[in-house]
Structures are given as C-alpha cells and as structure tokens.
Amino acid sequence: MLGFRNALLAGVVALAGLAHAQSVTDELSNGEVRKVDKENARITLKHGPLNNLDMPGMTMVFKVGDDAMLDAVQAGDKVRFRAEMVDGKIVVTKMEAVR
C-alpha cells in the first residue's frame, strides 16, 4: 500500500510541475508599442520582464514571426506578447492588443 501511495504522490507532483512549466511557457508579457517597421518586419516594444527568457524589462527592437501582427498595432498601443528565441534571435511569436 505504501508503494502505491508513493507512486500516486509522485504522479501528482509530476503533474503539478508540468502544469507550472506550461503556464510559464504560455505566459504573455506586457508591453507598449514604440515603433512599427513593416518594411523590415520589426517592432520596438517597451516591455516588462520576459520571464521565459530571463530578461528584465527594457525597450528593444524585435523581429516578428508573422508580418500580419504589425497590421494590428500602432505606436502607443498597449500589447500582451510572447517572445521566444528562434535561430539565435528573439522573435515575437504572439501578440495581442490590449483594449
């Protein structure tokens, strides 16, 4: 019985860890659009911490994964976004305007 209880407890702990990892992976960061550069598929964001990249808040230029993201925002807009390391560069992979 003790073996079953330990196995069950280990399973619960593993699932909790997986749920936490998933929430960090899907986490969106807050930002403000400073500049949209459609010609070069780049966006300048003043952002809060990017926890998934262990990066503090700052203002920086990002490449975007999908050029269509730039059509939905303009300078001054508040956004929530996800940035990820892609081929050695930080890329915005998801972005939504905050209304």
**What CATH number corresponds to the domain at position 87?**
2.40.50.320
Q: What is the pLDDT along the chain (99 residues), one digit of tens a residue?
A: 566 565 555 555 555 555 444 445 579 999 999 999 999 999 999 999 999 999 999 999 999 999 999 999 999 999 999 999 999 999 999 999 998
> In this predicted structure, what is the pLDDT of residue 20?
45
Q: How many CB atoms lie within 10 A of CB 15?
A: 10
In a domain, 14, yes or no: no
Query: Which domain, by its residues, includes 90?
Result: 28-97
In a domain, 12, yes or no: no
In a domain, 5, yes or no: no
- Tell me how many domains the chain contains: 1
> In this predicted structure, what is the pLDDT of residue 3?
67
Q: Where is 61: in which H helix or E strand?
A: strand 58-64
In a domain, 75, yes or no: yes
Contacts of 82 (CB under 8 A, 6+ apart): 26, 27, 28, 29, 52, 92, 93, 94, 95
> In this predicted structure, what is the pLDDT of residue 21?
44
